[in-house]
Structure 1
Amino acid sequence: MSLRHSFFAIASLLGALSLTTSLTATECTVTSPDGQLELLISDEGGLHFRLQQAGELLLTDSPLGLDFAHQISVGPSARIAETTRRQHDGSWTQNFGIRRHIVDRWNELHIHLKNDLPDSAMTPPTVGLIARAYDDGVAIRYTVSPPAGSHEFTLESERTEIHFPDDFRCWLGGESTCAEVTYPATTLSAIPVLSGDTRWQGKPYRGVQPLLVETAKGYLLIAETDLSDWAGMFLSGTGKPAVTLTLAERHDGAAAVIGKGARLSPWRALQVAHSAADLVSSDFLTNLAAPSKIRDTRWIQPGISAWDAWWTGENPSLPQFTGLDARGDTRSHKEYIDFAASMGWPYQLVDWFWYENMSSYTRNLLSPLSSPSGDLQRSVPTIDLRALLAHAKRKKVRLWIWAHSHDIRSFGIEKTMAHFEQLGFAGIKVDFIDSESQEAVQWCEELLASAARHHLMVDLHGIFQPVGWARTWPHFLTQEGVLGNEYSKLPGNRCDAQHTITLPFTRGILGPMDFTPGGFINRTAEEFQVTHPAQVIGTRARQLAMTVINSSPLLVLCDSPRNYRDQPGIEFFRDLPTVWDETVVLEAEVGQHLVLARRSGKRWWLAAMNGEQGSSFQLHLDRLDPQVQNWSLKEFADAVPPSPSAAPSSESPSSPQEIIETTRTWNSAQPLPIHLSPAGGYTAILSAR
């Protein structure tokens, strides 16, 4: 029995043990274990909730409800009929994240609803609520079962809204179904109201999660997690300090969700943080995701991967293909494999243009199958796939392989996975899903299950933002759903310093991020050009810092061997972990700067990034391990010009590619001073002496 379906049997047992009749009650409450957060759910005047922190309102009365087929609405006339409660105080081990030991403590309230509909109305589905409170957030989800005499229900829309007591500053993306967006600062009332022709920054508007709100007491982040066999959600404004949650429509036009049997909606998660540092270091969303479906994870091996010639935009073997059309061939792929081997990296990625009749990037997962499909069994003449696999094996490097979602769908998921397993690939990068509909979610879950059976790790691109699958399917090592370094080579580049320092506080909170850092042709914003070989904005030390700050168990480094070989800073990538035992945030301000340290074994990796202004920090290393008196530091820092004052210099280094590498000993009783250029960075490897 699946975890999601077995929940209903467990809930029934709990109800038999602790059922509380509350037909006359109009409000019930669930409180966080530390007693600071209080989520109140009421049926007075329609189903709604509000949230309090230490007795002060964080959220005002916010509607709840679902709209089903045949004009059946559950919410406006719903009554709280029965409630049960349970609590949990435990922990679990995370082997593929930013912290190994995860504390999992919560209180939970289950609400059975009775819906008062006119006598002439059809029987509605059975709907309930589950509300859960942690010390760092609360979450609500719907339980839905088909009406009596039926095996399915049709959900057309969701009524959930989130109302704030004031018009706070916030950050929300809004340009793409595949979450490749920036997160500009705005206010709640300025978020566009969704309509057929709504546009934001010149593009069709879809409010891409998460929504980060700076409240009077800190921060509140809105996201969804534990999405399974349901439609993904996006957000839109109301013209007031409130947002409404909207479900993606099915591609078959039959509403948003067609549910067969009892179902759970995703969690509507509200993460609460006193500070930006608390926001980044929280395990709240990870705890809400369903536990792993894979028992034996020994075959799942995180690590660094070389990419191929596409990102840099040129391949001397194929000079006729440049920029977006650049591609690898047998010679260039061997070059990348050899470099990966020399650096001790376990992987190299063979990206698109490797097989015959590859589907174009204008076609997505759910395009009609009658349209032409690529042949995943036949590589193009310029690539000898079996020779590459043999060469990689000799070099003790394993290959990842790219495939278009449309071509996998045409060939068949199970056949595709069996084929790539038989050839000996380590994992598969699947691209151009470009949908958050229920059908797309179902397809992705089927693909992840099949890949697990065939011991293939997975990287999904052209996809919506993370929804908890990294915990549920630990072989799903990373994903896109981010405007990453590939945009540095696209016309109208938006991968600037402001975007990259905002990401850790928005998209980065949700889960692994295949940003593909590591560009070594570094330029200031004024010098930057979209050209080939590809350039990046900001200093080289900043690109190093991204590899630690932007969590990704599969870390794909973007640049080419010729741009890496013998370059200052390249040694930082040798022996760099991609999963961590512990994370400590030292300094943080949303959209301004982030300094954190991550531990692997007995060593720490320290990383700092800032925005468009230079900055300096005094770091207290005793926060990492108070037992260590002296640290050995291997540093990679910006070449910051000296400043006559105590303030950080606003000047850029003589070249953003310049990096200062030093090794020294530092007493932890003394604050460690670090200085960052505008769009700068800093990294260090720390070992106890």
Structure 2
Amino acid sequence: MWAVIMLCSQIPVIAQQASQVSSPDKSIAVNIWLSKGQLQYAVFRQQAEVLQPSLLGLSTSAGNFVTQLQWVSASKPMLVQETYNMVNAKKQNIRYVANEIKVVVKNAQQQSMHVVFRVSNDGVAFRYVLPWINSTTTILEEHTTYALSTAAKGWLQPMSVAKTGWEHCHPSYEEKYMMGIAAGTPSPMAGWVYPALFKTGNNWLIITETDMDGRYCGTRLSNDSGKAIYKVTYPDPREVFTNLGHLPQYSSAMQSPWRILTIGTMASIAQSTLGTDLAPAAAKKDYSFVQPGKASWSWINSKDDFIVYDEQKRYIDYAAQMKWQYCLIDADWDTKIGYEKVQELAKYAATKNVGLLLWYNSAGDWNTVKYHPKGLLLTKESRQQEFARLQAMGIKGIKIDFFGGDGQSMMQYYIDILEDAADYKLLINFHGATLPRGWHKTYPHLMTAEAIYGMEMVTFEQSAADNQPAHCTVIPFTRNAFDPMDFTPMNLYRLTHSKSIRRTSGAFELALSVLFLSGIQHYAENPDGMRQVPVFVQEFLQQLPNHWEDVRLLQGFPGKEVVMARKSGNKWYIAGINGEAKAKSWALNLHQFGKSTATIITDVENGQLFGQQTINIHQAPQQLSVKGYGGFVMVLE
């Protein structure tokens, strides 16, 4: 109670126009109040200010909720609890507990706006509700802001400008992160994407959104130059499905996606499930066909010219040898191989216990990409016809590429694909796409999505290869914090058909197989490269779990290093990467896992690619030396 009184004392408002809600453990508190007709809020953790007074509000075609607001009511805190299971996330059995309040204000036209806040031990979520809508109403602008201290630092990915890039395919969340920049630094492009990571004082903060049901648009953050106030911003009007709109539009009660702020230590960020906690549960359908796994994939190393029958059969054999569950055939398969021969490959793959995945171009007229099959998913009738054909062929899933942004109609297109694919038991991978925003909870057959400057960029540009070590240490705390990510990691031997020289070590690359989360992990190593690595590395990848039950961050700092532990069954897998050129020594508390031995695969200096050793675990921290841009994996049992 003392903490709440202290926090309230910082807000000079009358009691009837303010409310507070705290997390169940009282570590996080949110104050909401009305000041000069504007609704504002502030966030504290352990009595330290995380968000300075920030704005709430909406502008709609039927009325505005920005100024001249009047306080109506605030409910008493109510405990909200949910338990759910995931097979495509950092944890399997998840329990969400939060305190919820609802603040109601009204505008000059006596229309009401509800703002629902939920505060859990790892963060804050809030959403807008307009219950009075009964005719077509457009949400014109959202006025939500996140006001940070100017002393805060950010790890942020710029939002690319619509219709730019190769074949006008942007935006696709594939820009380089700007690391440790001063809060308020202007974006070099069109704002900032989610999740946005900040450090303010002793607290870390990650901002994102979830519960995107297709009726709202995806949003991003923008800020005025030099001001550490970040505003929720709608997408470019050009980011739309053909001839449809980019703004949210409702003809009945509206509720926005949840705005999410995960708050705490670096471990809080790495271990939080807030991005799925607030996402809707899956519909009661048969999702028994959803099987996480790993995939071989020829394109990352051999590119377009090798999408041919014999090469794809070789990669099916490779997947079978590695005990991987899938093989992906990439673009132009419909003409370079053909449906009939692909069905033949699917039957052959099934005899090897390998499922076949096929590439598709999402595009209508929103870009000029020529790769195909193209245009087959644009209408429900065409989608269902194609999905039925694939199901009959024995195809297990599809990778759909080159989407056109975050406008409301484009977000609805994603949902439409997911809804129809579930009926035909097809797994989905969105590539050249938006951030999934918790969709993999609502649609468990969404196995992964790209939305990252990934391994393919390393094969294209030396600058991407030079940046990769630091880049990979940012991703677990940003893009991959909540949603599965198709980075296509792990090139163990050397890049082929590439102009780039990889800077990372083999053990660094191997560690990505544990660090990065994806329902289907497409590996960037080819059969020839895999033959160059020791048998113990091959066996590690053959036995690596397909999904995880729990996670712990042992240490990490974005841009510098990550050491993370993941649990499967009675084993813990630990992986670490060094994002800097200098060698490091890490002191790791392995005793906490309750295991007696650890098998470690690391880099070695004797001309070999990898070394392996088994050690006994003691109570004292274990010292592990890692070379610059190096890494390790460890299995505890």
Percent identical residues: 26
Count of residues in correspondence between the two structures: 589
- Partner letter of residue 672 of structure 1? Q
- Contact persistence 2:461–2:499 (CA under 8 A): no
Q: Which one is further off, 334-343 or 168-177?
A: 168-177
- Partner letter of residue 106 of structure 1? A
2 CA distance for matches of 1:492 and 1:113? 54
Aligned partner of 2:186 in structure 1 is 192
Aligned partner of 2:368 in structure 1 is none
- Contact persistence 1:465–1:510 (CA under 8 A): no
TM-score by length of 2: 0.87
Aligned partner of 1:19 in structure 2 is none
2 CA distance for matches of 1:333 and 1:432? 23
Q: Deviations over 1:453-507 (max 9, x none)?
A: 1111111111112301011111111111111101112235425211111111211
Matched, 1:312 2:301: yes
- Contact persistence 2:485–2:516 (CA under 8 A): yes
Aligned partner of 1:620 in structure 2 is 589
* Aligned residue runs from structure 1 range 117-516, under 5 A: 117=109, 126-145=112-131, 147=133, 150-176=134-160, 177-192=171-186, 200=188, 204-228=189-213, 229-238=215-224, 239-250=226-237, 251=240, 252=243, 256-273=247-264, 275-308=265-298, 310-313=299-302, 325-356=304-335, 380=337, 384-406=341-363, 407-410=375-378, 412-491=382-461, 493-495=463-465, 496-516=468-488
2 CA distance for matches of 1:382 and 1:256? 39
Q: Deviations over 1:114-154 (max 9, x none)?
A: 1114xxxxx86x5321111001100111112454xx42211
Q: Secondary structure at the match of 1:499?
A: helix
- Partner letter of residue 227 of structure 1? M
5+ long unaligned stretches in structure 1? 1-21, 118-122, 194-199, 314-322, 357-378, 524-529, 640-652
Aligned partner of 1:6 in structure 2 is none
2 CA distance for matches of 1:232 and 1:617? 40
1 CA distance for matches of 2:172 and 2:309? 31
Runs of 4+ in 1 over 4 A off after TM superposition: 252-255, 379-383
2 CA distance for matches of 1:294 and 1:167? 47
* Aligned residue runs from structure 1 range 642-661, under 5 A: 653=605, 658-661=609-612
Aligned partner of 1:87 in structure 2 is 79
2 CA distance for matches of 1:329 and 1:498? 36
Aligned partner of 2:69 in structure 1 is 78
Q: Which one is further off, 284-293 or 437-446?
A: 284-293
RMSD: 2.4
1 CA distance for matches of 2:270 and 2:376? 36
5+ long unaligned stretches in structure 2? 1-12, 161-170, 364-374
Q: Secondary structure at the match of 1:509?
A: coil
CA shift, 1:398, in A, is 1.0
- Partner letter of residue 230 of structure 1? Y
2 CA distance for matches of 1:241 and 1:501? 24
Counterparts in 2 of 1:246 and 1:37: CA distance versus 1, 3 Å: same
Aligned partner of 1:551 in structure 2 is 517
- Contact persistence 1:183–1:503 (CA under 8 A): no
- Partner letter of residue 550 of structure 2? E
1 CA distance for matches of 2:606 and 2:250? 60
TM-score by length of 1: 0.81
Q: Secondary structure at the match of 2:377?
A: helix
- Contact persistence 1:520–1:535 (CA under 8 A): no
Counterparts in 2 of 1:95 and 1:24: CA distance versus 1, 3 Å: same
Q: 1:65 aligns with which of 50, 54, 57?
A: 57
- Contact persistence 2:346–2:394 (CA under 8 A): yes
2 CA distance for matches of 1:112 and 1:670? 54
- Contact persistence 1:337–1:348 (CA under 8 A): yes
- Partner letter of residue 212 of structure 1? L
- Partner letter of residue 231 of structure 2? T
Counterparts in 2 of 1:611 and 1:472: CA distance versus 1, 3 Å: same
2 CA distance for matches of 1:94 and 1:481? 21
Q: Secondary structure at the match of 1:585?
A: strand
2 CA distance for matches of 1:513 and 1:347? 17
CA shift, 1:95, in A, is 2.8
Counterparts in 2 of 1:430 and 1:329: CA distance versus 1, 3 Å: same
- Contact persistence 2:494–2:529 (CA under 8 A): no
Aligned partner of 1:585 in structure 2 is 553
* Aligned residue runs from structure 1 range 594-609, under 5 A: 594-609=562-577
Q: Secondary structure at the match of 2:138?
A: strand
Counterparts in 2 of 1:38 and 1:667: CA distance versus 1, 3 Å: closer
Q: Secondary structure at the match of 1:297?
A: coil
CA shift, 1:77, in A, is 1.9
Q: Which one is further off, 55-64 or 545-554?
A: 55-64
